[in-house]
């Protein structure tokens, strides 16, 4: 899917698909409810997408997140039923090759967001950066946390996904205040900080210069369309109560400004828009716009 926001050209691209335990994806929510939305297989796994963005802005080409990548064995780690496409195929509709990418924005360093940033060398003995020329932007808080995450998140933060490009001088750390206000990284490309899912996640805003018509790459603040309900968070979330407050504030803004919300992990839907409902229910007062929300 291709979008135009101001002078930004944006492609939403599928890097592949995988499956994760449905209970882990929906935290508090009973299986009887979430299984009506996404049917689990015999191993209780639900299908999930792995999307990346390619952004062509004034004078730059950027990637936002990179999926899980292809350096896993068959089926991926822990039997995730992973299928990943090679970068040449993922980027084909854009006319861009990995060598053309100047900037990589890593929303956070969980393996399903940055696994695709490193690959095996031809002889298979070492790992190298996929985007050899690109600066890789990571928030300082997420970088610090990723390298010492503690037992709860140590399986998700794997240094083979960042060491090759950090070692080659391609790491660009950025301090983003937890104010709720996005700050600019590149022309038209802004990031706000979110600490609920993990520390220092960056939510990427693509802006036209007007308050309306912008789009936001929601990463794990809102991984699928079903997570717009207030209490539908992931079991993985580090600070569920913080996430709930961040999500409420974010979705209010999204409804008010008519943002297009890009969903990284939704298996079927890449983009939604939301609106406020009149009644406050237990799931919050935000719903997906019934017109389909296409831009």
Structure tokens at 77: 């780690």
**Least Å distance between CB 40 and Zn ion?**
20
Among 51, 85, 110, 227, binds Zn ion (CB under 5 A): 110
| Beta carbon nearer to Zn ion, 68 or 174 | 68
Sequence-distant (6+) residues with CB within 8 A of 155 are none
**Least Å distance between CB 201 and Zn ion?**
7
**Least Å distance between CB 79 and Zn ion?**
19
Say how many C-beta atoms besides its own lie within 10 A of residue 59's C-beta.
Answer: 8
135 binds Zn ion (CB under 5 A): no
**Least Å distance between CB 109 and Zn ion?**
9
**Least Å distance between CB 4 and Zn ion?**
28
265 binds Zn ion (CB under 5 A): no
Query: Which of the stretches 76-84, 144-152, 212-220, 241-249 binds Zn ion when contact is defined by CB under 5 A?
Result: 212-220
Of all residues in the shown chain, the one whose CB is closest to Zn ion is 110
220 binds Zn ion (CB under 5 A): yes
**Least Å distance between CB 2 and Zn ion?**
26
| Beta carbon nearer to Zn ion, 107 or 225 | 107
> At 191, is the secondary structure helix, strand, or coil?
strand
| Beta carbon nearer to Zn ion, 25 or 251 | 25
Query: Which of the stretches 4-12, 63-71, 83-91, 218-226 binds Zn ion when contact is defined by CB under 5 A?
Result: 218-226
Taking the C-alpha atoms of residue 28 and residue 26, their distance in angstroms, rounded to an integer, is 6
| Beta carbon nearer to Zn ion, 87 or 145 | 145
Of residues 120, 129, 131, the one with CA closest to residue 91: 131
> At 177, is the secondary structure helix, strand, or coil?
coil
CA distance readout (Å), 122 to 88, 101, 125, 128, 292: 16, 21, 8, 10, 44
Exposed e or buried b per residue across 145-182, where buried means at least 16 C-beta atoms within 10 angstroms of its C-beta: bbeebeeebeebbbeebbebbbeeebbeebebeeeeeb
206 has which bridge partners?
189, 215
| Beta carbon nearer to Zn ion, 188 or 223 | 223
Footprint on this chain of Zn ion (rule: CB under 5 A)? 110, 220
């Amino acid at each position: 899917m291709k979008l135009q926001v101001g002078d930004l050209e944006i492609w939403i691209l599928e890097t592949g698909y995988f499956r994760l335990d449905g209970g882990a994806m929906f935290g508090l929510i009973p299986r009887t409810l979430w299984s009506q939305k996404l049917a689990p297989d015999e191993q209780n796994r639900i299908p999930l997408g792995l999307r990346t963005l390619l952004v062509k802005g004034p004078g730059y080409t950027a990637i936002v997140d990179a999926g899980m990548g292809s350096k896993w064995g068959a089926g991926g780690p822990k039997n995730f039923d992973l299928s990943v496409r090679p970068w040449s195929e993922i980027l084909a509709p854009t006319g861009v090759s990995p060598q053309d990418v100047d900037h990589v924005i890593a929303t956070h360093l969980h393996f399903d967001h940055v696994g695709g940033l490193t690959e095996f060398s031809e002889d298979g003995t070492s790992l190298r950066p996929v985007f050899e020329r690109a600066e890789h932007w990571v928030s300082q808080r997420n970088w610090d946390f990723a390298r010492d995450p503690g037992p709860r998140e140590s399986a998700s933060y794997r240094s083979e996904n960042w060491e090759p490009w950090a070692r080659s001088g391609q790491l660009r750390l950025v301090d983003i205040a937890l104010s709720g206000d996005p700050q600019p990284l590149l022309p038209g490309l802004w990031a706000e900080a979110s600490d609920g899912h993990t520390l220092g996640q960056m939510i990427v805003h693509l802006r036209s210069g007007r308050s309306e018509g912008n789009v936001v790459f929601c990463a794990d603040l809102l991984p699928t369309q079903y997570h717009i309900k207030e209490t539908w968070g992931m079991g993985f979330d580090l600070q569920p109560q913080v996430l709930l407050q961040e999500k409420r504030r974010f979705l209010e803004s999204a409804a008010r400004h008519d943002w297009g919300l890009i969903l990284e992990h939704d298996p079927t839907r890449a983009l939604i828009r939301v609106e406020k409902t009149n009644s406050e229910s237990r799931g919050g007062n935000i719903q997906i716009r019934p017109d389909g929300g296409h831009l």
